[in-house]
Structure 1
Amino acid sequence: MTGCATSLGSTRSGTVPRTEGIEQPELLVGALPIVGAAPLHLAAQEGLFQQAGLNVRLQQVASGAFAVPELLSGKLDITFSNYPSLIQNFAGGGPARIIAEGSRAAPDNFAVVAESDSGLNEAADLAGKTVGVNAFDNVATLTTNAQLQTAGIRPDQVRYVQRGFPKMTDALLSGDVDAAFLPEPFLSAAEVQHGVKRLVDPTAGAAAQIPIDGYGALAPLIEKCPNTLRAFRSALREAQRRCQNPSTLRTVLQRDLKIDERISAVLSPSRYPLSTDVTSLQRVATLMELFGNLQAPLDIGPMVIAA
């Protein structure tokens, strides 16, 4: 971790107060190389966690769905994850809790795409097709199902297959899948480099501005280490604030996530909230119940650890 400026320029705009009495200064945090996690990478790269009194190491995970088992096993102290994976654990009586929001959907953050000559043009065309997603029963399937329903297509009329985002475009181009769910930066990269076309925005309509991902920890850590949690959220909040600046975000995407300048210049940025909104997060659980990911209504208020 370093706070040094790079050739891309500094993103500094404030400091993080040091938190006293930190119970666990060493943290291993699960991370993903996607736009929603940009503030986490900024905080680690520019020493914001150090300013707060923490030594944070980032561990890349394949998806939020894979990160939650790592969290539950104790291999991670905190993880970035999609909300459905965290909520499913909580609904089953598990110890996962939401400690901070990561990002909320903005227009064009995500798309289900196909090759330009595929003959597919809209959500209704996906009936009977194979759609690549990074994990089952997560934000990808949840939001896509919402758009399929609007188009009069049942979710069981689409065959979802699991492919990691870094290999998703290759799966599409090889014919392994007919269509693919892509977030930024993979979405803009596929458009710029391969000319794929968008069939549907999964986070439009009923899913507009829906919370996408956030940070989870286990109840025992939260209970035993309140100052640790306070320090983590303080540093993350400053990073979230900085990443609301488009110039700062582009710097982080190029420097920390190694995204090509052409891609970072055209991609659609996420929304980075500075506080946790339980009412907004409840929308995720409501959609999960609608599509059978939850068997009964769930009040997620008790699982959200507000700042």
Structure 2
Amino acid sequence: MRRTISVLAVAATLALGGCGPSGEPVSPGGLEKPVIKVGALPIPDAAALYIAQAKGLFKAEGLTVEPVTIQGGAAALPQVKSGALDITHTNYVSTFLAASRGEKIKVVGDLYGAVPGTFNLMVTKDSPLTSAADLRGKTILVNGLNSVGALAIAATLKGVGVTAGEVKFVEKPFPDMANALAAGQADAAWLTEPFITATQPGLRVLADTMTGPTANLPIAAWMTTDEWVKKNPKTLAAFQRAIGKAQQMAAGDRKEVEAVVPTYSKIDKAAVSKIKLGTFPTSLDAARVQRVADLMLEFGYLKQPLDVKALLTG
């Protein structure tokens, strides 16, 4: 009896002290890390994160999420590796490039996909260029070198007999592209929403980069390190459950997206009602995501085939 009482006393002490048998802190809900920082770009792609926040979906899982605005998925990788971020919004091209270089990372959720009209090559209204074929020898602005934008442009140019090596890519943040074109710093720019809508009528569409081989191309995902996944399985599962419910809301009702986007971005209510939105996938489909890696191999971004299944934790 004394032995039983002693064991129960130790268990109670551990519980009241917020520690497990190993002495490591645990949350009331059993999560390894009940407060996490999640990086997100201030664009429509990340709507599910803020829907989950507004609807209390994270709270229902015993999880507190602190959103952190980032400038790009590739730039956020060092923050994830250092622990400054737990999970981050990223694009598939940057993620697969990092994995090909040996980075131990995992995709833990699908986020956003392209539809026609959501990622366009734009030129000034008075530009002499009339089609993508006219871009040979020209300068194109992209938000990141070796990015999903450059890959989509390469695929578009191939369709009109131009190689990516015949154009010059220059890196420029989306908000600065319209002014750069107006100043004659480049001939075309690769823009996504809300910048496509916001820059018209000053700019016009030269080519849609999300048709043909890039139609419905997966664009963005949630990513973290392999080590974080192993250390925090319950926390990850809680995040995935909450973000999954929010993703279904975003996919099923545009009004949910329109309501939340102005709360975390510079897109106001009037503008968000006009922009064209991509898709909000509700599952992490390896076959679908593999298309990105295969395109990257075709255009020389990857030196050897990459099986994405090993990178997905859905």
- Kindly state the Cα deviation for residue 107 of structure 1 after the two structures are TM-superposed: 1.9
Q: Which amino acid aligns with 2:205?
A: R
Asked whether the 8 Å contact 2:51–2:256 carries over to 1, the reply is: no
User: Which residue pairs with 1:106 in the alignment?
Assistant: 115
User: SS of the counterpart of 2:117?
Assistant: coil
Residues paired across the two proteins, number: 287
User: Which residue pairs with 2:187 in the alignment?
Assistant: 178
CA distance in 1, matches of 2:28, 2:103: 29
User: Which residue pairs with 2:171 in the alignment?
Assistant: 162
Q: Which amino acid aligns with 1:62?
A: Q
CA distance in 2, matches of 1:210, 1:173: 30
Asked whether the 8 Å contact 1:241–1:272 carries over to 2, the reply is: yes
Asked whether the 8 Å contact 1:114–1:178 carries over to 2, the reply is: yes
Asked whether the 8 Å contact 1:113–1:199 carries over to 2, the reply is: yes
Q: 1:168 to 1:52 in 2, by over 3 A?
A: farther
1:242 to 245, 249, 266: 249
CA distance in 2, matches of 1:41, 1:141: 28
Asked whether the 8 Å contact 1:25–1:55 carries over to 2, the reply is: yes
Query: In the alignment, is residue 80 of structure 1 matched against residue 111 of structure 2?
Result: no
User: Which residue pairs with 2:66 in the alignment?
Assistant: 57
User: Which residue pairs with 1:8 in the alignment?
Assistant: none
User: Which residue pairs with 1:209 in the alignment?
Assistant: 216
Deviates more, 1:234-243 or 1:170-179: 170-179
Asked whether the 8 Å contact 2:178–2:203 carries over to 1, the reply is: no
Q: Which amino acid aligns with 2:310?
A: P
CA distance in 2, matches of 1:22, 1:171: 48
- 1:266-307 per-residue CA deviation (whole Å, 9 max, x = no partner) reads 21112111110000110000011111110011111111112x
1:273 to 269, 281, 290: 281
Q: What is the TM-score when the length of structure 2 is the normalising length?
A: 0.87
- Kindly state the Cα deviation for residue 139 of structure 1 after the two structures are TM-superposed: 0.7
- Kindly state the Cα deviation for residue 206 of structure 1 after the two structures are TM-superposed: 0.3
Q: Which amino acid aligns with 2:255?
A: S
Q: Which amino acid aligns with 1:213?
A: A
Q: Which amino acid aligns with 1:159?
A: K
2:45 to 17, 36, 54: 36
Query: In the alignment, is residue 300 of structure 1 matched against residue 308 of structure 2?
Result: yes
CA distance in 2, matches of 1:143, 1:305: 26
- Kindly state the Cα deviation for residue 256 of structure 1 after the two structures are TM-superposed: 3.1
Asked whether the 8 Å contact 1:19–1:52 carries over to 2, the reply is: no
Query: In the alignment, is residue 196 of structure 1 matched against residue 203 of structure 2?
Result: yes
User: Which residue pairs with 1:231 in the alignment?
Assistant: 238
User: Which residue pairs with 1:264 in the alignment?
Assistant: 272
User: Which residue pairs with 2:261 in the alignment?
Assistant: 253
User: SS of the counterpart of 2:273?
Assistant: helix
Unaligned runs of 5+ in 2: 1-26
Q: Which has the larger radius of gyration?
A: 2
User: SS of the counterpart of 2:243?
Assistant: helix
CA distance in 1, matches of 2:82, 2:104: 11
- Kindly state the Cα deviation for residue 40 of structure 1 after the two structures are TM-superposed: 1.6
CA distance in 2, matches of 1:186, 1:107: 15
Asked whether the 8 Å contact 1:22–1:228 carries over to 2, the reply is: yes
- Kindly state the Cα deviation for residue 19 of structure 1 after the two structures are TM-superposed: 10
User: SS of the counterpart of 2:247?
Assistant: helix
Asked whether the 8 Å contact 2:105–2:225 carries over to 1, the reply is: yes
Q: 1:167 to 1:44 in 2, by over 3 A?
A: farther
Deviates more, 1:104-113 or 1:247-256: 247-256
- Kindly state the Cα deviation for residue 185 of structure 1 after the two structures are TM-superposed: 1.2
Deviates more, 1:246-255 or 1:140-149: 246-255
Unaligned runs of 5+ in 1: 1-17
- Root-mean-square deviation (CA), in Å? 1.7
CA distance in 2, matches of 1:72, 1:136: 21
